[in-house]
Chains A and B, each alone.
Chain A
Amino acid sequence: MSYHIDGSRNSCALHGALQLIEAIEGAVPVIHSNAGCGLQHYLGVNRLGPGTDPYGGPPVSSSNITEKHVVFGGSSRLREQLKNTVKVVEGELYFIVSGCSTEMVGDDIPAMTKEGLDQSFPVVYANTPGFRGAVHQGYELAAKALIEQLPSLSKDKPEQAENLVNIWGIIPHQDPFWAGNLEELGRLLEGIGLRPNLLVGYGHGPEDWRCVPDAVLNIVVSVWGEAPARLLEERYGTPFLVVEGLPVGPAAGRLLRAVTDLLGLDASRTERFVEAEEKRLDRQLSGLADTFYRAGFQREFALVGESSQVVGLGEFLTRSLGLLPRTLIVTDNPTDEARSVIKERLAALVEDWDAEVFFSEDHAEISDLVVSGGATLVLGSALEGKAAETLGVPFLPVSFPLADRVVIDRGYAGYRGVAALLEDLGSAILARPHQ
């Protein structure tokens, strides 16, 4: 049972699927739905996490069904659209995604996909009507479709790579810093001798997805990466490692050590690598110390974002920077089971200090919680700007949706991400001197 939401920041399953597909270079989404579905996605998702639109505009193919198709069915319109997409749009993989109308009418998406395959089009599909869930479910559905359908698409497999590790759970755009976060996690894994398979972003195309079964490990960075990891364990026996939130600073070192342990890698190499990163971080923190004290960085903060962000950023802010969590709000609707784990982690961030932890995606409710919590620093999405304004405290937009920030390859994950976070957080605090 779903409930109404005020100012929802989590768009629909179709849009979640599009977020993943658009981030795969050479993959072309073919939307089978109303004309507006793709543009809703462009306005309400791409434009609110700006700087990373691959096409220079909204998705390049959409069947734009009309009344006729709603009444008589739109399968033949999809057939025509797919055939012509392959002729018009450059791509290595065409990915049919369906919207609410065509699913309610009962168009046969698998049959149309099969017809395309019979004509040797490289095509896969996922049933992604918006009413099936939020972006997070859309990400899961699209990832599942790729895992299940790609192997039969092409006989010649790419050369098997050694020490390959897939990273799951970072949803493009829904994490506005997805590209930078993935690049940094990749850099760290390379540092301990692994070959990271980032799957999305610059230079990552369908070929990378075809290598997915060859991985020695699947790393799961948010609760939304668990479904693909479980599916891969089931199909290929690949083990997976669930990370407690986005690894920021020392948590990244912990991840590298755990992976080293699990895969039996050269432990002394990992230690040397992590120590070098930690030393660099020490230097950065000590260099910042004067400003840190002068501007009063140690505040009580409110943090609003997806579960992996709240856990990851929350841990760094409390355990490395000495801030106190006042109001923590998780917006991505994790399952009840996941909620209790997340709540436990967040409650234990600072000893003898009970942070208030909430799960909500309702803008009106979140604003009320942030304001009544009385934090002296707010980190959240652009939607929380007004609450910070009401409190009269510094505000740093870190989660989806963003409105006044351009993000290209900035990220807050890993060790490099710490510097970016300190720069942004410090600038926000300096722009509003201590009360």
Chain B
Amino acid sequence: MSYLKTKTPRIREKRLDTLNAWLGPAKSAVGEFAGDEAVQRIRTFSQSTNDDVLHALRILSRIENSVTVIHAPRGCAAGALYHKLALGQGNWLVTNLDQKDTIMGADRKLRKAVTSAHRTYRPEVLFILSSPVAAINNDDIQAVVDELQDELELPVIPVFVTGFASRNAVTGYDIVLHSILRQLVRGREAGERNGRVNLLSVTEHRADIQEITRLLTALGLELNILPDHATPGSFVQATGARLSLSLNQDAENYLGTVLRDEYGVPYQAPGRPVGIEATGQWLVAAGKAAGLEQAAAELHRQESARIGRELGDFSLSGVRVYLSLPPGMAFSVASLVEEFGGEIAGITVSHLDVLHKARLEDIASRHPSLQIHVADGQPFEELNILRRIGPDLYIGDGNHLGQVGRLGIPVVSLEHSRLLGYDGTLILCRRISVVLKNRSFGQRLASVALPYKESWLQRSPNWHIKKEVK
């Protein structure tokens, strides 16, 4: 059991050579992953962005019948309040650490919070989320886990995020998935072979999960969806599945890898099912792995004919599109844009790692000088780039779309929006049609000044990206 022995998985930088600061043409991006170890870069100016705590909160809010005790001062729970209200999910408590706790430690307070959470919600599983303060203070969370797990007779899962150990927030997804597997399935034999297919889904839109379920069920597959809306039982069942199917490698690669390497569940990771062609390819790859290639191809023929009729003469011909998305999303939406005749004007990805090597090589072979920008957030760089490129359309899921709008560029947000499968494609194309047809909001917004100095916008956008001095 090599993966699950340690308290936390290796951070993304170490495990997948993940970069979070880079700018250059596609052809050079490929070269970054040619050597033994990618060269890390840092920023000498930065803006607030995601960290592993926020990504962990995102994924935990979707585990069914669970409650999370956030072992932190109040502010670390703000993101959880957002999930609770905006998405209507996630029960949580915060231990509300104060100054004294940062000196004396707060194990007792944690124990009380866990007991109280259990009393209020009677959950099937309870998570304890660490935090910067708990990490620096070295609070003994494991001792509380060991003690209360027996007493309360339910799995208590510690999630050791820190907010600073990794520059890549996706490490937070790895940590949660690692912690769940470590606590629920480590040391067990693989679950009984159950013929199900694990659909690996991390923070996907509910309607997207329904669309994919609709397609795979039509093929006659029985699904075990996780970690979105999963229960503890889903993880145990996952070890005996016939196959794991990826929806977005960036987020669930760790889960697929561990299930494959430790429990022998094959892991299929085709690109995301975004756009008609890619959905077809994804479906065929899924069908093939399950021995249902013919049926999948037939389903694709029917569905693509239906969507084709509904889309009518939708085209992106002559439209230059800028994408700012997590890498797996960005590359799949890029394919969709090209499928409808559009041109990719540039791409910002939240991170980049060895998982994207093949996609990068493909892009570099067709558009060697296409500019790739690696930044999670960092709108100061992105706006500098956008002003130079002047695209006709911007598709992104960041928190700074309000700034992008001030450049007068039509914006389509992919945050909490449907995207996957045939229906997702249809919905996205309709949204694009609307924003391209009427640009008045952006034109109006263009008269609002950007928060940045003109002298910065004149500078090279990679000015603040430097090689790390160790």
Contact = CB atoms under 8 A, between A and B. Distances in A.
Contact of B75 (A6, A60, A130): A130
A8 to B, nearest CB: 5
B455 A87 contact: yes
Contact of A104 (B50, B120, B133, B405): B133
Interface string A36-48: 1111111111011
Given A39-B49, A40-B75, A85-B45, A2 B97 contact: yes
Contacts of B380: 60, 88-89
A34 B163 contact: yes
Q: How large is the interface on B (under 10, 10 to 19, 20 to 34, 35 or more residues)?
A: 35 or more
A364 B118 CA distance: 13
B46 A63 contact: yes
Contacts of A15: 75, 78
B451 A89 contact: yes
Contacts of B231: none
Contacts of A57: 377, 379, 398-403
B96 A100 contact: no
A67 B165 contact: yes
Nearest to A28: B451
A104 B102 contact: yes
A36 B51 contact: yes
B219 interface: no
A58 B399 contact: yes
Contacts, number: 253
Interface stretch (B82-90, B332-340, B385-393): B82-90
A90 B449 contact: yes
Contacts of A59: 47-48
Contacts of A350: none
Interface in A70-93: 70, 80-81, 84-85, 87-90
B402 A53 contact: yes
Nearest to B110: A4
Interface string B39-75: 0000111111111111000000000000001001111
A133 B98 CA distance: 7
Nearest to A3: B96
Given A47-B86, A67-B164, A132-B99, A40 B79 contact: yes
A131 B452 CA distance: 31
A90 B452 contact: yes
Given A67-B165, A87-B455, A364-B120, A39 B48 contact: yes
A5 interface: yes
B108 to A, nearest CB: 11
Contacts of A263: none
A5 B93 contact: yes
Given A85-B45, A131-B102, A43 B164 contact: no
Interface in A115-149: 129-134
A47 B87 CA distance: 13
A39 B82 CA distance: 11
Contact of B48 (A9, A36, A47): A36
B409 interface: no
Given A90-B452, A401-B81, A41 B96 contact: no
Contacts of A87: 45, 453, 455-456
Nearest to A103: B102
Nearest to A31: B48
A190 B131 CA distance: 48
Given A15-B75, A58-B48, A130-B73, A42 B399 contact: yes
A90 B451 CA distance: 6
A28 B34 CA distance: 41
Contacts of B75: 11-15, 37, 40-41, 44, 130
Contact of B136 (A4, A56, A105, A401): A105
A401 B133 contact: no
Interface string B433-465: 000000000000000011111011000000010
Contacts of A98: none
B132 interface: yes
Given A58-B47, A64-B46, A129 B399 contact: no
Contact of B163 (A28, A85, A101, A129): A101
Contacts of A7: 81, 84, 91-93
The interface size bin for chain A is 35 or more
A131 B97 contact: yes
Nearest to B137: A104
Nearest to B95: A4
Contacts of A88: 45, 380, 452-453, 456, 464
B101 A48 contact: no
B323 interface: no
A40 to B, nearest CB: 4
Contacts of B85: 48, 382-383, 401, 403
A35 interface: yes
Contacts of A42: 48, 399
A265 interface: no
A69 interface: yes
Contacts of B54: 36, 39-40, 43
A376 interface: no
A10 interface: yes
B400 A56 contact: yes
Counting chain B CB atoms within 10 Å of each CB, the highest count among A8, A41, A42, A65 belongs to A8
Contact of B164 (A2, A66, A84): A66
Interface string B127-140: 00000110011000
Contact of A36 (B45, B109, B163): B163
19 contacts: A3-B96, A4-B69, A4-B93, A4-B109, A5-B94, A6-B120, A8-B81, A14-B75, A34-B51, A35-B48, A36-B53, A40-B75, A41-B75, A43-B82, A47-B86, A57-B377, A57-B401, A58-B377, A101-B132
Given A48-B85, A100-B132, A131-B98, 16 more contacts: A13-B75, A15-B75, A34-B164, A36-B50, A39-B377, A43-B82, A44-B82, A62-B47, A62-B49, A65-B164, A90-B449, A100-B136, A101-B163, A104-B102, A131-B101, A131-B102
Interface of A: 1-15, 28, 31, 34-45, 47-48, 53, 55-67, 69-70, 80-81, 84-85, 87-90, 99-101, 104-105, 129-134, 364, 382-383, 401, 403
Interface of B: 43-54, 69, 72-82, 84-86, 91-102, 109, 112-113, 116-117, 120, 132-133, 136-137, 162-165, 167, 169, 377, 379-380, 398-406, 449-453, 455-456, 464
